[in-house]
A and B are shown apart, each in its own frame.
Chain A
Amino acid sequence: MSKIKIVQYINQFFAQIGGEEKADIKPELREGVVGPGLAFNQAFGDEAEIVATVICGDSYFGENIEKASAEVIEMVKSVNPDMFIAGPAFNAGRYGVACGTISKAVKDALNIPVLTGMYVENPGADMFKKDIYIVSTKNSAAGMRDAIKKMAPLALKLAKGEPIGASCVEGYMPNGVRVNLFEKECGAARAVKMLVAKLNNKPFETEFPMPDFDRVDPNPAVKDMAHATVALCTSGGIVPHGNPDRIESSSASKYGEYDITGVEDLDAAGWETAHGGYDPVYANEDADRVLPVDVMREFEKAGKIGKLYNKFYTTVGNGTAVLSSKKFAEEYAAKMKADGVDCVIMTST
Chain B
Amino acid sequence: MVKEIERAGLPVVHVCTVTPISMTVGANRIVPAIAIPHPLGNPALSKEEELHIRRCICETALKALQTEVTEQTIFDVKY
Which residues of A are in contact with B by a Cβ distance under 8 Å? 20, 23, 58-59, 62-63, 65, 93-94, 97, 123, 126-127, 214-223, 225, 230-231, 233, 235-236, 278-283, 285-286, 288-292, 294-296, 298-299, 304-305, 315, 317, 325-326, 328-330, 333-334, 336-337, 341-349
Contacts and interface: CB of A to CB of B under 8 A. Distances in A.
Interface of B: 1-18, 20-22, 24-29, 33, 35-41, 43, 50-51, 54-55, 57-58, 61-62, 65-71
Contacts of B51: 294-295
A194 B60 CA distance: 52
A83 to B, nearest CB: 25
B11 A343 contact: yes
Given A63-B18, A216-B28, A348-B33, 11 more contacts: A62-B36, A127-B24, A218-B6, A219-B10, A230-B62, A282-B41, A329-B2, A330-B8, A343-B12, A344-B12, A346-B15
A348 B8 contact: no
A166 to B, nearest CB: 25
Contacts, number: 192
Contacts of B1: 233, 235, 315, 317, 325-326, 328-329, 346
Contact of B2 (A126, A292, A341, A346): A346
A281 B36 CA distance: 12
A286 B7 CA distance: 32
B67 to A, nearest CB: 5
A294 to B, nearest CB: 7
A220 B5 contact: no
A219 B6 contact: yes
